[in-house]
Structure formats: C-alpha cells, structure tokens
Structure 1
Amino acid sequence: MLKKMTKAFTNPGLVLVTILNFRLFRLLPDELFIKIKHYIKTQEKLNLAEPTTFNEKLQWLKLHDRNPNYTTLVDKVAVREVISDEIGQHYLIPSLGVYNSFEDINFEQLPNQFVLKANHTSGDVFVCKDKSSINYEKLKQEIEQWMKRNYYWDHREWPYKNIKPKILCEKYMVDESESELKDYKILCFNGEPKLIQVMSNRRRGYYNINHYDINWQPVSIKRKKFDENPEGIPKPVKLHEMVDISRKLSKGMPFARIDLYNTGSQVFFGEITFYPVSGYMDFAHKETNLLLGSWIDLDRAYSKKVS
C-alpha cells in the first residue's frame, strides 16, 4: 500500500485517480464518474452523445449495454460452466480448487506450481513457480486485499458489481517456449474476430504486445507504454480453431475480447473481457483509436440500453 501511495504522489494523474477512488466518490453517478476518470486518464473530453473512438464506445457500452449474462461471463469461476457448455470442458485450464478465503487453501495438497486468481476482479493473480519460495504471510495479506475489493467501483464496470468473491486455483501452464504462456487476445467486433493482440515476455507490470489480423498478417498498432516483441510471434498451430472459438463466444455482442492460450497441442480459454484497459487504451496515434472505434456498431446495443 505504501509503495502504491508513493508512486501515486509522484504522478499528478495517479494522484487524481487515487482520490477519485475514495469511498466518498462512490456517490457520483456512473456517467459523471466515467467522464471525470476518462479525462484524467486520457486528457480528452468524453463524448457519450456521439462516441467515435474505441475508448469512447467502450465507455458508452459500460453505461448502456446491460446484458445480464455479462456478470456470469466476467466471473472467472462461473464462466467455466458456460465455456464447458458452449465449446467443451477440454478448453478449460484444469482447476485445482475454488476457495472462499485464504484459510480455505490447503497448500500442502497443491502441486509445486500453480496459479491463484480472484474471480471477481481484473489483474489479481499470483503465479507460483516454486512453492518453497512462498512468503505465506505476504500472500495472505495480498489475497485478503483481493477479497475486500469490489472492482466495479474502480472503473464502474457494472458486470463486476454483484460477483461473490472467490479464489480460483488453476494448473500452472506453459506454451511451446516452455518458459511462459503467451496471451492471445482476440478482439471481436459485433461478433466477428478482427484483431489479435499477443502478450509475450510478461513480467510484473510489463509485457510486449504484437498485433495481427485473423490471417496472421502483422498490424501496426503503437502503444505509449508497451513495445512490440521485435522477434515477432510465430503463427499459432491452432489459429483457425482459436478464431472459430472467439466467433462463437462473442456472438451477439457489440464488442468482446476473448483471451485464449495455445500450448501447441491444445487451446485453452483464459477469460472474456468487455472493456480492455477499462476504455483507457494508451494508443500512440488517435487514428488507431478511431479505426477500432469504427468497428463497433453501437446500434446493436441500443435494444439493451438502460435509461
């Protein structure tokens, strides 16, 4: 906590975001909160009346696309049943347990390597590569912070508001590199996969991002805070299968990002995301923001609009 506060007060934008997350500001209506936070994060005024950019349309969808199924789909535990029914249980990373608290976890029964993640937030993950190196007191404090968090209040992403917090333990996986598990994040617009982001060389707080179309042709998309992997990413063996899965899972949705893994011999489901970077994507060029925004047809979401 002290480290986060120190970092915040050396960055004016982070100071404002930190203040905005005080409980007092929960009194703000979602739309006003989102407008303020969008300006702090992007230094641009949010146009919700006529949204054109990718970021603006994601903010509009937060407020108006209230598909009741989204809460189940962002719940990392509940979504497993949906995936099993929709595309098959074999696409699920094996679960080693689901817990209601840190005290419920029997670490002696877990293998030497595993992954813990909160079902009700984004980014709260603990990757264990060697159980003998765990600082259990520190891990307990971290997980207890997860369990207290209601992720909805961070960015007003409403699907997270009513998820019951749980801890999911999954099998530790690596891909063909035998050292990491690359994320293949397939961006689907109006139910059609169009763009694939690949996260590689992941380490805490940083990773490389490469972009490809669905035929694995490189697409130049520059981000302010992340660089491309200069070596590029080999075309995954199961690319067509991954695209087909994404198309099926995003059917009927104005926008969804389907996160998958490819170990070479098998494709695994990661998660479904409706608001990447919560609609504050750090595009280096506004043209990219506008291009991706043009791919989202908000008319498909108007039938679900909530006044």
Structure 2
Amino acid sequence: MINPIMLSDIVDSNCKTYKYIIIGAGKIGYELFDALHSLGVDVVAFMDNDKSKHGKSYRNVSIQNLCKYEALDDAFDKDMSGYLYLIAINNRKAQRTIMNQLEGYGIDSDRIKICDRDLEYQYRKNLPEDRYRDEIDQLYANSFGVKMNWEHPTSYSEIINWEKIYGSDLELKRELTDKYLAREYVKKQIGETHLVRYLGVWDKPEQINFDALPNSFVIKLNNGSGRNIIVKDKSTIDVGIIIEELEYWMDRDYFFYKFESNYRGIKPRIICEEYLEGLAETVYDYDVFCFHGEPKYIWCISGSHREEAKASFYDLEWNRQDGVSYGYPYDPVLAPKPEQLDLIIEYSRKLSDGFRHCRVDWYLMPDGRVLFSEITFVSWGGLRHFIPEDWDKKFGLLITEKE
C-alpha cells in the first residue's frame, strides 16, 4: 500500500504545473491513484500497453492505449504536453521499456517519474526507529482491516508481526535467513548432500565470470525474497541488465520493505546455484510449518515459481485439509504423497528445534534428491490471509499453547 506521505516530493513540486497520468493499470497503479486522490490530486488517465485493459477504467478514470497516443480521447492534448507521467510498474526491464517509449514520443525525461516499491523503501528507510511499530501497524491494517493487538497477539499473523519488534534469537534467525550462511547450519544438522549445488559466490556483480558458468543456472541474492534470476539458456541473457538488477538489490536492505527483523543488516552476497530442471513445471515445494520444534502441517505448492501457482495443506499423515489456502489459491488437485515424507519431517524437526515457529522448505527432485530450500520465519511478510480465516487463529494457538 502506497502511503500518501511517500508522494510529497512529487506532488508538492508539480501538482499546480502538470496533470497526472499513471502508466501501468495494475495493483501498484491503482494504489498510486488512491494515494494521489487522498491528496486531492486529479489523475486524468491510466495508460498501459496491455490490450486486455484498454477501454476499461478504475474509479471512472479510463485506461488508454499507450501505443496509440495519437488516438487519445478528445479530453487530452494530442501532443501530450502538460502532463506528468508516473510509471507504476515494479519490473526494472519494463520500466526501461516504458521510459524509452515515452521519450520516443518526445516527452522530456524530467516529466517521467518512477513510482514503484522504491517509494516505500526510501520512505521506510528514512523513518526513525520509534516509528517502526506504527508503520507495521499500518501495514497490518491495510491487509486485514483492523489494527494489531500488540498487548495480546493471538493469531499467527499478529504474532509474526509482533515479533518484528519484540522477537527473540535475532542473531541466529538472521544467520539462518542468510541463504549463504544457512548452508553451514544445515550441513552440520543433516549433511551437505541435501544442499543445492553452488557454482559460485561473489561480493560484487562485476566479479562474475559469465563465460565460466554453464548454459543453465540460477543467480540470487542471499538477503531477500524474490531476488532470483533464472537462466535456462545463457545465450539469451543480457549481462548488463543482470548486473544492473543485482546492484539494485544489493543496495537495498530487504528489512525496510516489511520490517522483517531477521533480514536486517545481512551482508549481501551473490550466489549462483545449479538450475533445477522442472522446478516450476513439475516439482512441488514441500514447506513444513513447525511449532516449538515439531512439524505440524505441510504446505504443498505446485508451480511456486509461476504466477499461476496453487497450494494446499496436508497433515503429517498426508490428509489434505480441504479448502484451506494461504496466499496462493487453493489447489484442488490431490498431490501425490512423497516417498521421502518421513525424511523431510525428521529433518524439519531437527532444523526447527529451539524456535517458537518456523517454516522449513524442501524440494523433492525427480532424481531422488531431497534438497533443502530455506528456513522462513515470516511467511508472506505476515500480511496474507488464511482461508478460512480461523486457520490464522489455529496456527497462532500452535505457537502460544505451549507458552
């Protein structure tokens, strides 16, 4: 959710000079519109290259075809002068494409602004620490419609947000959140045969010798979620774009996005791993929710690296919990019971020992390997809904009932 305060620099200096057009009719664009509207700023149009959105509207503001600017409604100046263009897209490559497209129409770069997650990042990075709790409260309210119960958190979502400020064992959690350092812990607990093979580790993007890498690989950062670049065919990549993306991630402490304290201050490293064939298409993720060192439920995710991913929950006897979902849409297809189920339960018990709660994630590969993925302490940043909602309380009780 975009806080209107984040837009003060853009609005204060431009609101009387320009009319506003938002490029990107999606979630970020709609949040940006609502934030601007709350400040009394009029947005005259959305523009998008997605044909399926053309002719539609959001809050009675039309979505225009950016590719056909000469065919805009009569309400717009045909030379597109007098407008400020706000690009509301997170994808860096898409941002560059839109920038080039607008500049190709003769629009001065000074009238083009990027309004992506960096707005949130810079705003929260500059907050004093005594404001962190208020900001977490607002994030929670944006997601759930109510404020946090800070005195007596009872739901799973409340507890993991409460722990962002008051959690314990932060040094160990930070070590296990670091995808590079976590490997040593896992190696000591269950052996290195369950680790994804590394192809390289670097401190700076320019140290990477792409010529020495195989045709397929995965590059990721150790200090965040979603900071992955999957390469299936090296001949198709643009090394410059990859380096730019890595530099962008390395410059941003993931903590400031949702205040997940286990990420704060992790030294950024670049990791290159083997490419796991079929991971997005045919390989399930088996994510084991553990409470006080005991596995309780397995979150089975189909296609976790795709937008259309689905998931369902199973108990330790592999009984599906019908209709239960969390973040992903419910997967009605019954997943096959894994042959290594007892093994991942045993290993999850070892790796979760000593923690109130955590999630231990696994890949079970077609070649028979059982591979550790990660240990997670804040699923979905603590800001997604369980369906049905009472499972939020159910998971919360699994944390508090032994305390």
- Superposition TM-score, scaled by structure 2 size: 0.68
Instruction: Tell me the secondary structure at the aligned position of residue 184 of structure 1.
Output: strand
Residue 221 and residue 194 in structure 1: after superposition, are their counterparts in 2 closer, same or farther (change >3 A)?
farther
Contact kept, 8 Å, 1:190 with 1:251, in 2: the verdict is: yes
Q: Deviations over 1:51-102 (max 9, x none)?
A: 1111001112222222021111000001111111111011101110111122
Is 1:115 the counterpart of 2:135? The answer is no
Residue 14 and residue 162 in structure 1: after superposition, are their counterparts in 2 closer, same or farther (change >3 A)?
farther
Q: Deviations over 1:177-226 (max 9, x none)?
A: 89443211100011110111112124444411121111111013544763
Contact kept, 8 Å, 2:281 with 2:303, in 1: the verdict is: no
Is 1:170 the counterpart of 2:273? The answer is yes
Instruction: Tell me the secondary structure at the aligned position of residue 33 of structure 1.
Output: helix
- Could you tell me which of 117, 123, 131 is aligned with 1:23? 123
Amino acid paired to 1:90: T
- C-alpha displacement at 1:40, in angstroms? 1.4
| Unmatched 5+ stretches in structure 2 | 1-21, 37-115
CA distance in 2, matches of 1:271, 1:4: 33
- Could you tell me which of 131, 135, 138 is aligned with 1:33? 135
Contact kept, 8 Å, 2:288 with 2:296, in 1: the verdict is: yes
CA distance in 1, matches of 2:190, 2:317: 22
Amino acid paired to 1:36: Q
CA distance in 2, matches of 1:184, 1:41: 26
Contact kept, 8 Å, 1:190 with 1:297, in 2: the verdict is: no
Residue 74 and residue 248 in structure 1: after superposition, are their counterparts in 2 closer, same or farther (change >3 A)?
same
Residue 211 and residue 4 in structure 1: after superposition, are their counterparts in 2 closer, same or farther (change >3 A)?
farther
Match of 2:164 in 1: 62
Q: Deviations over 1:96-121 (max 9, x none)?
A: 01111221111111111111111011
Larger Rg: 2
CA distance in 2, matches of 1:72, 1:32: 27
Is 1:11 the counterpart of 2:31? The answer is yes
CA distance in 2, matches of 1:119, 1:209: 25
Match of 1:130 in 2: 233
- Root-mean-square deviation (CA, aligned residues, Å) is 2.6
Instruction: Tell me the secondary structure at the aligned position of residue 112 of structure 1.
Output: coil
Is 1:74 the counterpart of 2:177? The answer is yes
Identify which of structures 1 and 2 has the higher relative contact order when contacts are C-alpha pairs closer than 8 Å and 6+ apart: 1
Amino acid paired to 2:296: K
Amino acid paired to 2:371: F
Is 1:217 the counterpart of 2:319? The answer is yes
- Could you tell me which of 226, 243, 252 is aligned with 1:140? 243
CA distance in 1, matches of 2:23, 2:216: 28
Match of 1:293 in 2: 396
- Could you tell me which of 270, 283, 286 is aligned with 2:386? 283
| Unmatched 5+ stretches in structure 1 | 301-307
- C-alpha displacement at 1:133, in angstroms? 1.6
CA distance in 1, matches of 2:327, 2:344: 27
Match of 1:242 in 2: 344
**How many residue pairs get matched?**
298
- Superposition TM-score, scaled by structure 1 size: 0.88
Further displaced range: 124-133 or 59-68: 59-68
- C-alpha displacement at 1:269, in angstroms? 0.5
Q: Deviations over 1:156-191 (max 9, x none)?
A: 11121121101111111136x894432111000111
Is 1:260 the counterpart of 2:280? The answer is no
